Structure 1
Amino acid sequence: MKRIGWIALSIFYIVAGLNHFRDPEFYLPLIPGYFPNPELINLGAGIVEILLGILVAISSTRKAACWMIIILLVCFIPSHIYFIQLGGCAGKLCVPEWVAWVRLLLIHPLLIIWAYRIKNV
């Protein structure tokens, strides 16, 4: 199970990072307007996610990569709050507002826990 956990974490972040390049229009409306250069933020997030996904796959860098994923997820919290402020609808992504809350209060912490649990594998 531990091996499956870090492999899945690695693939998850590589695919998520690639998606920032494949479909930037999905992510750009989620970046709060008070942040400058949303295109650069989106590209940077994609690059960082890909790199962290790769680093999770390497046993000698896994622990540091998992800590960096946790930091990255904390950095994404303003985006989740902004999405809630928008009523759960930003660009292509429109969900009931309660889903936006579930994303922030349940899914996001589960992603943090996942990275935390994998860090010592």
Structure 2
Amino acid sequence: MHAIAAVALAVFLAVTGVMHFLLPGYFRMLVPAWLRRERLLVAATGATEVVVGGLVLVPWSRLAGGWAAAILITCYQVSHVDALRRARPDRPRLLERPAGAVARLVVNVLYIAWAVAVARSAA
């Protein structure tokens, strides 16, 4: 079961990383405006996700990859907290409303827990 969770996390990270390059507009939209350099951040995080996914996939680097994934995904909490701060009930997109912003935050915490579980099982 641990190997399945690790491979699933690796694939999730790699696919999400590639999607940063295929749909950069969507990912730029998630970057808080005050961070600036949306294009650079989207490209850098996309490439990092692919690399970290590779680390998680390979058994001998899974421990480091799992912890790297947890740290990387934790960094994304900045975006989700910012979205919650800016959320308004009258916004047209669900992710810009309070319920959607809370859902983003909660799902991201579950991703962090997933990465930590993979790292711990690799130890």
Give the TM-score normalised by structure 2. 0.87
Tell me, yes or no, if the aligned pair for 1:17 and 1:46 is still in contact at 8 Å.
yes
For 2:45, what is the secondary structure of its paired residue? helix
Name the counterpart of 1:48: 48
Structure 1 distance, partners of 2:33, 2:107, is: 24
Secondary structure of the corresponding residue to residue 60 of structure 1? helix
Please tell me the residue identity of whatever aligns with 1:97: P
Counterpart residue identity of residue 100, structure 2: V
Contact 1:88 1:94 (C-alpha < 8 Å) held by counterparts: no
Sequence identity of aligned pairs in percent? 28
CA shift, 1:76, in A, is: 0.8
- Give me the whole-angstrom Cα distance separating, in 1, the residues matched to 2:79 and 2:35: 10
- Structure 1: segments with no counterpart, 5+ residues: none
After superposition, the C-alpha distances for 1:63-120 in whole angstroms (9 at most, x for unaligned) are: 111111111112111110222233279xxx921421210221x211111111111113
**Structure 1 counterpart of 2:76:** 76
Distance verdict in 2 for CA 1:52–1:85, change over 3 Å: same
Q: Match for residue 67 of structure 1? A: 67
Q: CA deviation at 1:21?
A: 0.3
Q: Distance in 2 between matches of 1:42 and 1:2?
A: 30
* 8 Å Cα contact 1:80/1:103 also seen in 2: yes
In the alignment, does 2:18 pair up with 1:18?
A: yes
Alignment partner of 1:99 is 2:103: no
Partner amino acid for 2:81? I
Correspondence 1:110 to 2:110: yes
Backbone CA RMSD of aligned residues: 1.8
TM-score normalised by L of structure 1 = 0.88
2:103 maps to a residue whose letter is: V
- Specify every segment of 5 or more residues in structure 2 that has no aligned partner in the other structure, as ranges: none
Q: How far apart are the structure 2 equivalents of 1:17 and 1:41?
A: 12
Give the count of matched residue pairs: 117
